[in-house]
Structure 1
């Protein structure tokens, strides 16, 4: 999969741009706060319908303007697509593919396959369970928009159950009807559980091989799904925790409490791994995302590296960049020469300077 061009207007500090990208490596360099990450954010939005940095679409629009747009052209297996995103402060976001408006956000998933890697992702092992659930959900959504709809339905039912728990605390006679919401979150939750179980099994197989390469087989990585419930126990746990849930006004058990465990030689990396080991695990998990997409779809995703190289030591930089020969990559950085020295063997490199919201291709 390739992103051939991106045009946009009023996306944060990016004013009005029309950029043609290389099929190989694209390096965007410049000082901090010039717009490099904003450009990658625009591509991310075209793939997922939302920002990876904020839940508010209004924050994406330049603060001096009332509207913004992004147009992205991509090619996959000879098929061309144009994804258009229109943002306006007083209207709901509009998304179209090849000029046809999408009625549901989930219909966008799979049109543009990407893997985003930022310094925050290096904290995947150390961060909280919500970040690891996000890691699972983002990837599975790209592979299955059915999963996206199951997530939406589950969290809608969960909110309704939590609201109903608060009503029960005021009127105990309502308790006998809680089963209505229990049935919904159990139905959607079990389907999500099955998807996550398959995903972690797949990502574990791929990551273990990558980690063996990066450590020269000196250590073994295992990634395990840590579900809060199982299909067999979900209903029973909801029933047993009902009084506690009524008291607290929230649901104690469900897939919204799931986690992932990263084990190095059988030991939990989050608690006992060194910073170097934790970063290696995070790096392997992101690289495994690329391979998983290839395996499941036959399509190589686009890789977005947002200032991540500066967070890696030279060995991990080399390990990452050595795997980019067959994948379109966008790299943001402050200094271009150091990156160029590490990717000089790769053909089709374009270099862009980013300054004050303007992106200029070097040599033009």
Structure 2
């Protein structure tokens, strides 16, 4: 699966662009602020309905326009697929796939699986559990069709339970919701746990290639004491939850733990090693999707050369190209990528002040 064509209109500093893409490695280079990252962001926006750089989608609309428009043609083993998205300043969004209106953005994510590696990807390791839960849930969503609804039900019930706690409701009034919460929480947790187990089988080999001298342990924690039944725990913690107005334990607290010995990886590894670890996680996730569903991810790698020496740039690009997936890589200096490849990029683009030129 790959994008053969990408049209961008009114997206950040890109007023208008029509790109013919390669299904292999697409190199995008230019100075800082030229707009090269915006191309990756546009592809991500087309697959997720949002940006990976800002929570405010209005900010990505060109200042001189009222909306942004993105269009792509996707090629796969069956039939070509046309995806279109238009986002307005008032927050409205129109999405079409093969001419049909799409109401749920999750349909976009299902149609266009995307792995993004940016300088901000370190949040996966440095910030709280939310980023790591989202990482797990990306895979759970794609690999198990029941996950999306089960997790939506879990969040809906948690919201209801928290409102009852804030209203100082008695536990007898909360018990009904707790039983429902347990049912969906266990379903969500089982899917997450199975996914992490499957991911680990691939991840060990990739980490071994990237960081052969480091023994990294990756494990899943479900969000509550593994020795206590969840329903019993909810009852036991009711007084504390009542005081805080918030459910303190559950699948909304799940996490992915990455450790070297007894230390969290962020305390044990250098910045370059941490970047390689994030890349290993993303590559393994894409490989597992291919293995389980025979579906390729699209890899978006922003500023690949940063914090990596020539040896590790070469190693990372080798692992990425070995996936057989479509790859988009940005760099300030194209030689930092070209010199790390055994053959030239399949397609090269130069970006300057929002203008994109194909380099033959």
Q: Would the TM-score normalized by the shorter structure come out above 0.5?
A: yes
Question: Deviation of residue 277 (structure 1)?
Answer: 4.0
**Structure 1 residue ranges without an equivalent (≥5):** none
Which residue of structure 2 aligns with residue 19 of structure 1?
A: 19
User: 175-184 or 301-310: which moved more?
Assistant: 175-184
Taking the TM superposition and a 5 Å limit, the aligned residue runs for 1:47-126 are 47-90=47-90, 92-126=92-126
SS of 1:23's partner is coil
Which residue of structure 2 aligns with residue 329 of structure 1?
A: 327
Indicate the RMSD between aligned Cα atoms, in angstroms. Answer: 2.2
Taking the TM superposition and a 5 Å limit, the aligned residue runs for 1:126-165 are 126-165=126-165
Whether the 8 Å CA contact 1:219–1:265 is kept in 2: the answer is no
User: 323-332 or 68-77: which moved more?
Assistant: 323-332
Find the partner of 1:320 among 310, 316, 319: 316
Which residue of structure 2 aligns with residue 176 of structure 1?
A: 172
SS of 2:330's partner is strand
Name the CA distance, whole Å, in 1 between partners of 2:56 and 2:156.
19
Deviations along 1:72-102, one digit per CA (max 9) or x if unpaired, are: 1111114211111111123532211101111
Which residue of structure 2 aligns with residue 195 of structure 1?
A: 191
Matched, 1:225 2:223: no
Question: Deviation of residue 191 (structure 1)?
Answer: 1.7
Name the CA distance, whole Å, in 1 between partners of 2:55 and 2:155.
16
Question: Deviation of residue 3 (structure 1)?
Answer: 0.7
Question: Deviation of residue 138 (structure 1)?
Answer: 2.3
Change (3 A) 1:274 1:58: closer
Find the partner of 2:288 among 266, 287, 292: 292
- Paired residues in the alignment total 357
Name the CA distance, whole Å, in 2 between partners of 1:232 and 1:47.
39
Name the CA distance, whole Å, in 1 between partners of 2:299 and 2:272.
23
Deviations along 1:242-263, one digit per CA (max 9) or x if unpaired, are: 1111111111011111111113
Matched, 1:258 2:229: no
Name the CA distance, whole Å, in 2 between partners of 1:345 and 1:99.
38
Whether the 8 Å CA contact 2:6–2:73 is kept in 1: the answer is yes
**Structure 2 residue ranges without an equivalent (≥5):** none
SS of 2:167's partner is helix
Question: Deviation of residue 147 (structure 1)?
Answer: 2.0
User: 135-144 or 252-261: which moved more?
Assistant: 135-144
Change (3 A) 1:277 1:352: closer
TM-score scaled to structure 1, two decimals? 0.90
